[in-house]
Every structure is written in C-alpha cells, then in structure tokens.
Chain A
Amino acid sequence: MKPRLLAEGCATRLAGPLLFLKRTVDVGLNEAVEVKGADGRTRLGRVAAADEETLTIEVLENTAGLGLADVVVRFVGQPLEFALGPGILGRVFDGVGRVIDGGPPIPAREAYPIEGLPWNPVARGVPRDFIETGVSAIDLMNSLVRGQKLPIFSGGGLPHDRMAADIATNARLPRGAAGDFAIVFAGMGLPHDSAEFFRRRLEQGGALERTALFLNLAADSSTQRLLTPRYALTAAEYLAFVEGKHVLAILTDMTNYCEALREVSSSKGEIPSRKGFPGYLYSDLATLYERAGCVHGAKGTLTQLSILTMPSDDITHPIPDLTGYITEGQIVLSRDLDRRGVNPPVNVLPSLSRLMKDGTGERYTHRDHPALASQLYSAYARAVQTRVLAAVVGEDGLSEADRRYLAFGEGFERNLVHQAGARSFAESMEAGWRLLKGLPHAELTRLSDEQIARYLAKA
C-alpha cells in the first residue's frame, strides 16, 4: 500500500491523548501520523493499536482544541523519524527536533527513526577511556568512561543544574582532539528560567558551539516530553556513529520524563504498578539509557549523563531505583553536604561508577589511580562510621586512630569533594594523596608497600 494516506471525518472518539478512528486505511502498528484539527495545528502521533474496525492513535502533543468533526489524519507509512545532517552543533531545537533559534533549518541528509533499534550486544565495544569532567568526586572517585551511562541522583533545590552546566562547559577528552567532542543537551519539562540559565551558561562558557540543545519546557505537553529524549538521542547517535564524534548526552530532568509517562499511561487506562507508574517503566527507560555505548568499527562513542531529582530525596523511589538498575552506576548528591557548603555536594559513598575499572589505570589515567580511589573509599567509609560514634560518645571517647579518621573525613569533604573551580585530573590525584598522609600507614591495606613509600613517606 502507498504511504501518505489521508483519513478525513472518520474520528469517533477523543479521550485524553487517544484518538479513535474508523479504520478506512490499511496501516501498521507504531507508524507515525500527523493529526490536523480545526485549529489548523499539526500534531504528531502514532498508531497504538489496530483492529478490524478501529484504529487507536496516540497523539503525542496537546490535544486541546481538537474536535471530532474536522480532524484530518495523514498517515506517514513509517515510524517517527528525525531528519539530520551536518551543522546541528550550536543549534537550539524544541522538544520534537524543530529549530527554534531563528536560524535556517538543518540541511537534512538522512532521516533516522527516533525509537532507534537495539544494538546487538556482539556489535558493542567495551567502553574504555576516560572523560574528564573537572569534578574530583567524579574523575577521581567515580570516573566517567566513554560509552557509559552515569546518572546524577539529585533532589529538589540541590545545585544539579549548575553542576550539569559546569560539566557541559569543562568536560574534555584528555587523550583526544577538542573537535572530536560534542554535547547533546536535552531539557525535559524545564521551567523557563532554567532553560534560559542553560542557554546563557553554555554561551558564556563557549560551549554552545559544540552543543546541540533540545528544550522541552514545563509548559509544553507531557506527551511531547516523551519524544524529547528520543529526538535528542537520535541526534546524539547521528553525531557519534555517523559523524564520528565522542558525544556526551546530558538529559535533565528524567523525573519529569517519568511523570509524563505516568500521566500518559493513566490516560490510556493501563494497570498501574508501583506508585502509579506503568509496569513497563523499566523497559521504557531502558530504551533510552541503552542507547549509550561504543560500537565496533565506529569512531565515535555516546556517553550519557542523565540527571534526575529523587522525589522527597528517596533513593528507593521507582524512578531512581529502576534507573540505577539500568545505568552503570550513579552519582548521588546530598542535601547534608549542600547545607554545609560543600560544592558540588557529591556523597561518594552511595555513588558508584561500574565501568571505572575499564577506563582508569595505567593506560587511561594513572597507574595508581584505582588503588588510590579504593583506599580513599574505604577510609572515608570508616570516617563516616566514626562520625556516628563520635556523635554518641563524644570526640574524647575516641581512640587516637579514630580521631585521625575523623579529621580525614572532614578534610575529604572540604578539600577533595569541595572545589571552587574545575580541577584537572592530576590536581585531584594530588589532593587524594595529601589526605591519606594523615592516616596510620599500617591500616592502608588497599595500597601496596611501594605506593605507600612513593606517595606517603614523610617529606
């Protein structure tokens, strides 16, 4: 059958984002449609279900203003696509990939389906090599690796926006050319002032010209919010695997995305699972997160740094919980550290980078980096434990060794996690060794004798 079919005057029912049509044309599941109402606006949609008499169309934009009488539905004949070509860096798009910076349209070379197709695990390369973010708590303790997906778990009111903008500005490949690096920034459900903040910060930091910015504002429809990361990731995949760049995709805020998914799911009358989110939340998030990676034979890589705000700081909430099961680790921000003026307030204990071992060490960062990070972890964990003890028995009741750990914990937060500006990797390493000097050497079991002699011997 021919694509680009029209259906007029056959709409029978409208319920939330769902539009029911009498089936007059032969179309397949998931194919894209354009719905035009009496108000003249064109809305994107897709075929959600079909039987012999009825077609169910899921309209992916606001359905307010749509009536049954004058609806014209155009069937595209294939799933939703995004036409891309060179020159998308430095540009600003809306949530469904339309240019909104007043510039000329993108010269489209090829159209890519926005859902993407799952990578064959055999075709994937193992993520290797390091991306320097300029944040010690990430670079030194939970390193970000090219092709990794590492989310930031934040909370309302914590400085994750600033952190994301800083990383977008400062991130670099220590072992690659500057022109190889690109950023795709997708804002989902952003308040207007946050969107402005990002645009301004990227412009001031000089990072806008290596960034493709996708903005879905809080006032935009929630069905459109579901498309924003898909358009952004399609662009990111294009940059990585067609143009051969190392792409860092920053998605914020995934919580808004999940809320939109819940809203749309409930309007479809689906059986809700935990906290009202649909049972397929895990599979749906996986279709986004799993688009990060490296591919054999491709020069570029796609790394994801998504940001989500944990509802009431609860890490067991379904959104952070399911995200943590898909992503390769997480960076957790802490309200307590933020209150004490530590910036960025990264709580390293619940943070984790699963791929760290593949992107650090002799070939990528420094030979002694893994041992140093492991020792800092173990010492900081003990310091935090000692802090609890000190709160009960008082500092005087502690042993000498415990008091040294207490001081170490304080120093770790003040001098390593906290930073005024971006820090190079070498500076982060140095700060780490300096802190360990204050601890009894015999207890540093994660370090070899040789490392102790080289870095910790008294000057």
Chain B
Amino acid sequence: MSMAAIRWISGPVLRATVRGPFFLRECVRVGPRHLLGEVVRIDGDEITVQVYEDTTGLRPGTLIEGEGNPLAIRVGPALLGNIYDGLLRPLTGIDARVTAGARPAPAARLAFRPSRKAGATVRGGESLGEVSLPGRRTLACLVPPDLEGELVAIQEAGEYDDTQPVASVRTADGREVGVAMSHAWPVRVPRPVARRLPTREPLVTGQRILDALFPVALGGKAAIPGGFGTGKTVLLEALAKGCAADVIVYLGCGERGNEMAGVLEELPQLVDPRTERKLMERTVIIANTSNMPVAAREASIYSAITVAEYFRDQGLHVALMADSTSRWAEALREVSGRFGELPGEGGYPAYLSSRLAEFYERAALVETLSGSRGSVTVMGAISPPSGDFSEPVTSHTKRYVRAFWALDVKRAQARFYPAVHPLQSYSEDAAEFAPWWSENGNTQWLELRRRFLTLLDEQSRLERMAKIIGKDALPARQQLTLACADLVNEAFLRQNAFAPKDRVAGPAKQAAMMRITGRFIELSTQAVAAGVAPDRITRLACLRPLARMGEEIGDGEMEKFDAVASALETEFHDLIPAPEARDEAAAAG
C-alpha cells in the first residue's frame, strides 16, 4: 500500500508528498484516526486529497495511507431500516456527538439459504440464495456485478456475518473470489444493468396534485425547487411515507438535524398500508446534516444512489429522495474553491452540469443483470437562493428531469399544501400514463387532468382581470370559472400531510375525488347555461363536504364518496329545472 506525508493543509483539503503510486479518486486514510479521504489531483510527487471528516489537529508530516481502491461503500440487505452518514457509516450505536474517524458498519448476522449448487456457472447480479432479515422481508444474496465464474463452494443454510464469504467463485483467470451477503461497490460508478426499459407506468406518489397533474414515471426523475418555507421537506417526507415503492432511500444532504430526528421518530411508528409492514423496514436513511463535514456532503449523493441501485438490482422499485441537491452543489462549490479552481456561473465549478447529469442519469427502469425488472426513481429537492428558479442548479437540473414540481411561495403563505404551482410545474410523460390509469379505475384521467389545468390557467388570467374591473363585473360564465378553479384547489389539490386520512391518497380515492370534482364542474356549467346565478352555486350546501372530502374520507371508505356525489346531484337537480327559479335568476340578472 502506498504512503504519503502531509506537506500543506487548510480546512478539508491537504497536499501530500507521495512515497509510492496513487491513482485519481483513490480512497485514502489520513493520520492516526484513519480519516477517510479521496485523491482528487496528482501532480508529480504531490497529491491533493479531499478529506471527508473534521481535520482539526492534522499537521505537516502526518502520514497518509492509500487503500488501493476507489472510494467504495459496502451494500447489502442489512442496510434496510438503518441510518448512515454520507459515507454509509452507521449513526446508530455511536456517540451523541459526531467525531472524526467513524468506523464502517459492523457485520450483521443474517440467515442465508443457498439456491445454487457448487459447479454452476454464475454471473454478476445473479442470486446465490435467499437472505432473510430478522422478522422482515427476504432478499437475494447477489453476486457482485463485475464477477463471473464457476461456483466452487457454497455454504449450507444458516446464520452468517454478512461480510463473511458464503460462497466461492473461480473466475476465468483462475482466481478464487469469496462472495458474501454484502459487497463493496465504488460510489461513483453506476452499477451495470442488462438494459434500460421504456416506461409507461407512473410511480404513484399518493399526492393528488402530483399523481393527477404532474405524474412522475417509474424510474423517472423529478425536481422539486422551492424557496425556504414552501414545504419541500414536508412534501419529500410525505412522498417517502406514501409513495408506492418497495424501498425508499432518503438522503438528508446538508439539511436540519431536527428534521432527521423527526423522520427517525416517525417512520418506525408508521405502517405501510400496502404491505402491512413498518415503513422503516423499507427505508434506508442517509443523513449528512448541515453542520457535518462539508466534503462528505459532496459524496453522500453518490452513496445514496449506489444504495438505491443495489436494491434495484434485487428486482425492486426504489425511490430516492434527495433533500437537497442545492446543498450538494454548494459543497461542490466550496471544495472546488479550496482547490483554487476557476469558478463558473454563480461561483459553481464549470463541471456542475455534467455532475448533475451523471447523478440523474442513474435513475431508470431496467432489466437487471439477472433478468428481473427494477427501477430507481429520483426526486431531488432544490433550494434556489432567493427562490429564483433561473439560478444554475435549478436551470441545469431542468435539462435532465422529466417532472418539475415548482413550489410556490404564495400558496405556501396561504398554507395551501402541497404548494406545487399548477402553472409552473410540468410532467413530460403525462400522456403516456392514461392507459395505466384506465386500467386502475380512472378512464377519464387524461381528460379531467386537461380540464383542471385549463381551469387553473383561466383562473390566473381572470384574476388579473378581476383585479381591474372587480369580480362582480365579470360575466356569469367567468365567475363560475373562478368558483370551479377554487373548488379544484380546495377540494382536490389541497392535501393535509398531517391528517391521518389525507396523508396518502391511493389511486381509487384519487379517481373518486377527481370524478366528483369533474362532475361538479360539469353540473355547474349546465346550471349557469340554464340561467342560474353563479353566487347561488357558491352557496350550495354540498360545497363544504366537497371541500373537506379529502380529510374526512379515507382510502377504505369509497362508499362515502357516493353519498357526496348523490348530494351533489340532488342539489343541482333542485337548482336547475324549476321554471320559477329560472325567472328569479333572470330577474336577479
């Protein structure tokens, strides 16, 4: 192993004189506490190292040891249900204060049951047997993607440490390689797949405004930009709790410690309605709070996506929530500044865009090496300075994502959550998902979506006009448009993340609510056409239950929607036909 000695140090960056060969991006250990670092530049006999931990106390002359490998993390089934720092070292079981020199995760004792026999030919990504987590689900013991050869030995069923080999593979060049239940993988290298698949299916998020108006594809990419206080984190947490994925990787990157504490307290108590298991069991949390070392923040995003890819390779659908990619970009900027690199737009290094692309491009729906179907869906929050969406991180991210969920300060200030702006947001894949929704009980999905969006668009134009001439001066039809748009917002799009029944809306509930809201628009349009004054419609008694149906009716109570719907029909029936009512309306008009 190569050694080097520190020549110069400042903050998280050091330069050292080498005694032996190093390569770029090699993982190194610094000083007596074995701080983790990475070689970022080589110049003659001098290397520049980025250190991922607090460098207090390091001094010229301190020794550095090369690991001979690129920066890698150990991925395995035992990751599920646990919390790690940005370099995948466990945060449980250590001190209350984060100090430098953390150790990698200790071995976990897991039950293994072989499914292959010695003598078989195995390839990367294939399963050697079942791994069951204590009291939890069963996963596969994967052959590392870059390994291929003859299985020369495999252990019998039993409990083993997940770092200890349970099988041995002889490669074509005659080496024998041990395969454990977990394996190391370099974080900056995408894990290989058989092929990428086109996606025609949405990832159901459980948030009506997203699923109905701006759906994200299974294996797709979504960005959530929003100024502070617009509810990015609440939305991401709601997605982590409610979205229909098998595994959630939640990355808290440069965010608040109290938020991570909240997630850690809440998730173990919540139950996934689809599987009846604790939500924590499907979750891996990676936390690098804003006061933890900045260089590790830069690496944490790669650790997170590598973990996500590992579970994808198990044939699972994984959702990765990154909160927030701006903090990652700022870490990149801070470290780049320490290297003395030439700053580009907004002070960010010129390679910001390509790094963002590298990250988002690792999201996909794929056929894995073992032939099953898995996906990684990425949802990245962006915290643009001053809420200005033209800044570099937002504008570069926009080039790589297909769903854009812009959060709006105005909506957030009126406590309208999720504060997704219906006119600034978009989903490029929406039209693809109509067949999926048809199969899942919402044949009118595309049409109602279009109608809601048109209404909201008209609302913004009419409100501008109403500001000038007054609302009452608008023609009846336009007054109705405003009333209907209000209803779409209040009854359908607003969703209370803290109300037990409204937290997550399944496809059936969404379809019912969409249908009822659509029906109201239809009936009220007919009524106004028949001469009913708009303010009589806004006074209807059914409006209140309609506006509160999200909070009052749960996923398993579909019959209650019928009551709301029939009240709607009756009240409009009473409103429209009687000729005297029509005269009255005419007299009032």
On A, residues with C-beta under 8 Å from B are: 23, 26-31, 48-52, 56, 79, 117-127, 147-148, 270-271, 273-274, 279-280, 282-283, 286-287, 290-297, 316, 318, 321-322, 324-326, 328-330, 349-350, 352, 354-355, 357-358, 370, 374, 377-378, 381-382, 388-389, 392-393, 397-399, 402, 442, 445
Least CB distance from B461 to A in Å reads 16
Contact A273 B98, CB 8 Å, known A29-B59, A124-B260, A352-B229: no
A-B contact pairs, 26 of them (CB 8 A): A28-B59, A31-B56, A48-B10, A49-B9, A118-B291, A118-B292, A120-B91, A121-B287, A122-B83, A122-B91, A123-B96, A147-B258, A270-B337, A280-B334, A283-B330, A294-B261, A295-B96, A316-B386, A321-B385, A350-B409, A377-B415, A378-B415, A389-B466, A397-B472, A402-B471, A442-B539
Q: How far is the CA of A106 from the CA of B95 in the complex (A)?
A: 29
Docked Cα-Cα span, A145 to B99, in Å, equals 28
- Residues of B contacting A48 with CB < 8 Å? 10
By a CB distance below 8 angstroms, the chain A residues around B252 are 121
- Nearest B-chain residue to A297, judged by Cβ: B96
0/1 interface trace, chain B 69-95, chain A, CB 8 Å (1 if under): 000000000000001000000011011
Q: How far is the CA of A355 from the CA of B383 in the complex (A)?
A: 19
Given contacts A52-B60, A79-B56, A271-B337, are A316 and B291 in contact (CB under 8 A)? no
Nearest 3 A/B pairs, CB to CB: A316-B386, A286-B290, A324-B228
| Residue-wise interface mask of B (245-288) relative to A, using a CB-CB cutoff of 8 A (1 in contact, 0 not) | 00000001010111011101100000000000000000000010
Q: In the complex, are the beta carbons of B470 and A393 less than 8 A apart?
A: yes
Q: Chain A residues with Cβ under 8 A from B436's Cβ? A: none
Q: Whole-angstrom distance between the alpha carbons of A355 and B10 in the complex? A: 37
Q: Cβ of A23: which chain B residues have Cβ within 8 Å of it?
A: 60
Which of B355-363, B425-433, B542-550 participates in binding chain A? B542-550
How close is A157's CB to chain B, nearest CB, in angstroms? 23
Known contacts A51-B60, A329-B229, A124 near B261 by CB under 8 Å: yes
| CB atoms of B98 and A117 under 8 A apart | yes
Is residue B20 contacting chain A, with contact meaning CB distance below 8 A? no
| Selected contact of A374 from candidates B98, B347, B415, B467, CB within 8 Å | B415
Min CB distance A138 to B, Å, is 16
B554 at the interface (CB under 8 A from A): no
In the complex, are the beta carbons of B98 and A30 less than 8 A apart?
Answer: no
Q: In the complex the two chains form, is B57's CB within 8 Å of A326's CB?
A: no
Is B420 in contact with chain A by the CB < 8 A criterion? no
A322 to B59, CA, bound (A): 33
B7 within 8 A of A: yes
CA distance A49 to B334 in the complex (A): 17
Supposing A122-B91, A321-B228 touch, asked if A381 and B258 sit within 8 A by C-beta, the answer is no
- In the complex, what distance in Å separates the CA atom of A148 from the CA atom of B543? 38
**What residues on A are CB-neighbors of B262 within 8 Å?**
126, 358
Is B260 a contact of A30 with CB atoms below 8 Å? no
B330 and A279 contacting across the interface, CB-CB below 8 Å: yes
Q: Which residue of A lies closest to B232 (CB)?
A: A325
Q: A316-B386, A328-B258, A445-B490 are in contact. Are A30 and B56 (CB under 8 A)?
A: yes
For residue B578, CB closer than 8 A to chain A, the reply is no
Of B58, B233, B471, B498, the most chain A CB neighbours within 10 A belong to B471
Give complex CA distance A244, B265 in Å. 22
Contacting residues of chain B (135-190) with chain A, CB-CB under 8 angstroms:
none
A126 to B256, CA, bound (A): 12
- B413 close to A (CB within 8 Å): yes
CB neighbours of A388 from chain B (8 A): 467
* B229 and A330 contact, CB distance less than 8 A: yes
A286 vs B292: C-alpha distance in the bound complex, in angstroms? 9
Tell whether, in the assembled complex, residue B55 and residue A29 are in contact, meaning their CB atoms are under 8 Å apart.
yes
CA of A316 to CA of B229, assembled, Å: 13
Q: Which residues of chain B are within 8 angstroms of A326 by Cβ–Cβ distance? A: 256, 290
- B interface residues, how many (CB within 8 angstroms): 76
- Give the residues in chain B near A122, CB-CB below 8 Å: 83, 91-92, 94, 264
Contacts of B386 in A (CB 8 A): 316, 321
Residue B563 CB within 8 A of the other chain: no
With a CB–CB cut-off of 8 A, which chain B residues contact A392? 467-468
CA distance A364 to B548 in the complex (A): 26
What residues of chain A lie closer than 8 Å to B292, measured between beta carbons?
118
| B contact residues around A382 at 8 Å (CB) | 414
Assembly CA distance A381 to B489 (angstroms): 15
- In Å, the complex CA distance between A318 and B383 comes to 13
CA distance A349 to B289 in the complex (A): 28
Given contacts A118-B291, A316-B386, 11 further A-B contacts (CB under 8 A): A29-B59, A118-B98, A282-B290, A286-B290, A293-B258, A324-B228, A324-B229, A392-B468, A393-B469, A397-B472, A442-B541
Cα(A316)–Cα(B228), bound, Å: 10
Given A52-B7, A120-B94, A399-B471, the answer on whether A283 and B229 have CB atoms closer than 8 Å is no
* Nearest B residue to A357, CB-CB: B498
CA gap between A350 and B468 in the complex, in Å: 25
Contact of B83 among A29, A121, A286, A287 (CB under 8 A): A121
Among the interface residues A30, A48, A50, A295, which one has the most CB atoms of the partner chain B within 10 A?
A50
- A401 → B minimal CB distance (Å): 9
CB interface residues, B 90-137, toward A, < 8 Å: 91-92, 94-99
Q: In the complex the two chains form, what is the Cα distance from A291 to B337 in whole Å? A: 26
Assembly CA distance A309 to B61 (angstroms): 46
Roughly how many angstroms separate A123 CA and B237 CA in the complex, as a whole number?
20
Closest A residue to B494 using CB positions: A445
Shortest Cβ distance from A376 into chain B, in angstroms? 10
Does the CB pair A445–B95 fall under 8 Å?
Answer: no
Chain A contacts for B351, CB-based, 8 A: none
Known: A51-B60, A120-B95, A283-B290. A389 touches B470 (CB 8 A): yes
Complex: A125 Cα to B259 Cα, angstroms: 10
A325-B383 in contact (CB<8A)? yes
- The answer to the question of B531 belonging to the interface, with a C-beta cut-off of 8 Å to chain A, is no
Contacts of A397 in B (CB 8 A): 470, 472-473
On chain A, the residues within 8 Å of B98 by CB distance are 117-120
Determine whether the beta carbon of A279 is less than 8 Å from that of B347: yes
Give, as a whole number of angstroms, the nearest-CB distance from A299 to chain B.
Answer: 14
Docked Cα-Cα span, A119 to B95, in Å, equals: 9
Other-chain residue from A26, A51, A297, A445 in contact with B9 (beta carbon distance below 8 A):
A51
Question: With an 8 A cutoff between CB atoms, is B388 at the interface?
Answer: yes
List residues 9-56 of chain B with CB under 8 A from any CB of chain A. Answer: 9-11, 55-56
Q: Which residues of chain B have C-beta atoms less than 8 A from A358's C-beta?
A: 262
Please tell me if B441 contacts chain A, counting CB pairs below 8 Å: no
Residues of B within 8 A of A26 (CB): 59, 61
B435 within 8 A of A: no
Cα distance A325–B381 when bound, in Å?
12
Scan residues 466-523 of chain B and give those whose CB is less than 8 A from a CB of chain A. 466-473, 490, 498
A332 to B: closest C-beta gap in Å? 10
Report chain A residues within 8 Å CB of B261: 121, 124-127, 293-294
Given A279-B330, A279-B334, decide whether A124 and B258 contact each other with a Cβ distance below 8 A. yes
CA distance A317 to B490 in the complex (A): 33
Contact residues in A for B8 (Cβ distance below 8 Å): 49-52
Q: A28 and B56 in contact (CB under 8 A), knowing A119-B98, A126-B261, A279-B334?
A: yes
- Closest CB-CB distance, B358 to chain A, in whole Å? 22
Residue of B nearest to A117 (CB): B97
User: In chain A, what residue has the closest Cβ to B31?
Assistant: A28
Closest CB of chain A to B79's CB: distance in Å?
Answer: 15
A50 and B470: CB pair below 8 A?
Answer: no
Contacts A79-B56, A328-B258; is A117 near B472 (CB within 8 Å)? no
* Closest chain B residue to A349, Cβ basis: B413
Measured between alpha carbons, how far is A293 from B96 in the docked complex, in Å? Answer: 12
Q: Which residue on A lies nearest to B57, using beta carbons?
A: A28
Kindly state whether residue B312 has any CB partner on chain A within 8 Å: no
| B289–A121 touching, CB < 8 Å | yes
B291 touches A290 (CB 8 A): yes
